[in-house]
């Protein structure tokens, strides 16, 4: 089933993407067996968790898998991620910048990160506004043991493609405006329900859970 879903996703990418695309597999509540199977199918797909505790459990069971972190993050949980995560995609506060930088320095590494943008300015979701992007990227330059390499866009759950496409187009415009100045590589935008539209609007990284795995399982360590 996962293999068939992946084949269809790759066809959709080929038919709709404007740029080369990286697939991020959102593994929340998925079994390690399913994750390892997907990893065998494609080494190009990076796994991603949005809860620190669930990440730690899965990471400790298989340290060969490459991971990103895509969930809301508190400063006191950063210590569990630095050095283990390829990209922390959900950085949206200066307190996180400080903590990531400090822990990265202690571990003699540079942690790669994305700025999270809350496209609809929803109070129940993390992320800065589009208007705050430049200021936040400037702040990030101060911290020498982290490197911003992308923008992660979260959008309202919106069924109207016309409304949703406006968020996506704004995100691509923002990415293009700052990518050269700040060395940004990725526009992480689009999830299972809207990734095809995101691809048409210029995303080069999509975060897929249900589209890859089917309905969520309850993960038990």
Q: Based on DSSP, count helices (H) and strands (E) in the chain, helices before strands.
A: 8, 8
Tokens of 80: 């569990």
Q: Would you give the end-to-end CA distance of the chain in angstroms?
A: 23
Q: What is the pLDDT of residues 138-186, one digit of tens each?
A: 999 999 999 999 999 999 987 789 999 999 999 999 999 999 999 999 9
pLDDT of residue 158: 73
Q: How many CB atoms lie within 10 A of CB 61?
A: 12
**Residue numbers of the chain with a pLDDT score lower than 50:** 219-221
Q: Where are the alpha helices (DSSP H) in 25-156?
A: 32-41, 52-61, 94-106, 133-141
pTM recorded for the entire structure? 0.94
pLDDT of residue 157: 85
pLDDT of residue 221: 43
pLDDT of residue 31: 93
In angstroms, the CA 15 to CA 33 distance is 30
Return the CATH architecture of domain 2-213: Alpha-Beta Barrel (3.20)
pLDDT of residue 218: 53
pLDDT of residue 28: 94
């Amino acid at each position: 089933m996962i293999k068939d879903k992946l084949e269809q996703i790759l066809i959709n990418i080929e038919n709709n993407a404007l740029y080369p695309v990286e697939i991020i597999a959102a593994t929340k509540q998925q079994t390690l067996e399913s994750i390892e199977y997907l990893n065998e199918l494609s080494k190009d797909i990076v796994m991603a968790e949005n809860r620190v505790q669930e990440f730690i459990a899965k990471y400790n069971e298989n340290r060969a898998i490459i991971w990103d972190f895509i969930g809301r993050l508190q400063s006191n949980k950063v210590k569990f991620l630095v050095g283990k995560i390829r990209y922390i995609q959900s950085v949206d506060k200066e307190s996180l910048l400080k903590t990531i930088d400090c822990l990265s320095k202690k571990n003699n590494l540079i942690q790669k990160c994305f700025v999270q943008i809350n496209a609809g300015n929803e109070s129940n979701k993390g992320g800065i506004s589009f208007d705050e992007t430049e200021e936040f990227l400037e702040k990030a330059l101060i911290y020498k043991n982290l490197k911003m390499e992308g923008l992660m866009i979260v959008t309202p759950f919106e069924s109207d493609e016309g409304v949703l496409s406006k968020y996506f187009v704004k995100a691509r415009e923002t990415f293009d405006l700052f990518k050269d100045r700040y060395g940004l590589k990725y526009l992480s935008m689009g999830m299972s329900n809207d990734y095809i539209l995101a691809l048409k609007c210029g995303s080069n990284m999509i975060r897929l859970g249900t589209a890859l795995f089917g309905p969520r399982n309850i993960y038990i360590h």
